[in-house]
Amino acid sequence: MSTINVSLPDSLQHFVEQQVAERGYGTSSEYVRELIRHDQDRQLLRCLLLEGASSSPGNRVDDNYFVSLRRRAQGR
């Protein structure tokens, strides 16, 4: 695992320490890693949404589509 150092103003350091204490993180590093993971997830979701928005329209969805989907999910 790599290490990075981050300088924070006192107000942000206090905020991080407060989040660690109140939200059950063991260390400030755990809190920062969680923030980074959430940011990665947001970026991935944004890319997927943009990809979907720029794609051509798919097939229409009707009741039969959902029946078929349920059967696939149930392994039938």
pLDDT for 60: 85
For residue 49, CA distances in Å to 20, 40, 60, 68 come to: 32, 14, 19, 25
**Rounded Cα distance, 29 and 4, in Å:** 10
Element (H, E) at 19: helix 10-23
Task: Indicate the pTM of the whole model.
Answer: 0.70
Place of tokens 């039938």: 76
**Segment 2-57, tens digit of pLDDT:** 999 999 999 999 999 999 999 999 999 999 999 999 999 999 999 999 999 999 99
The answer to whether 21 and 29 have CB atoms below 8 angstroms apart is no
- Backbone phi, then psi, for 27, in 5-degree steps? -145, 165
Please determine, for residue 58, whether its predicted confidence score (pLDDT) is greater than 90.
no
Q: State residue 59's pLDDT score.
A: 84
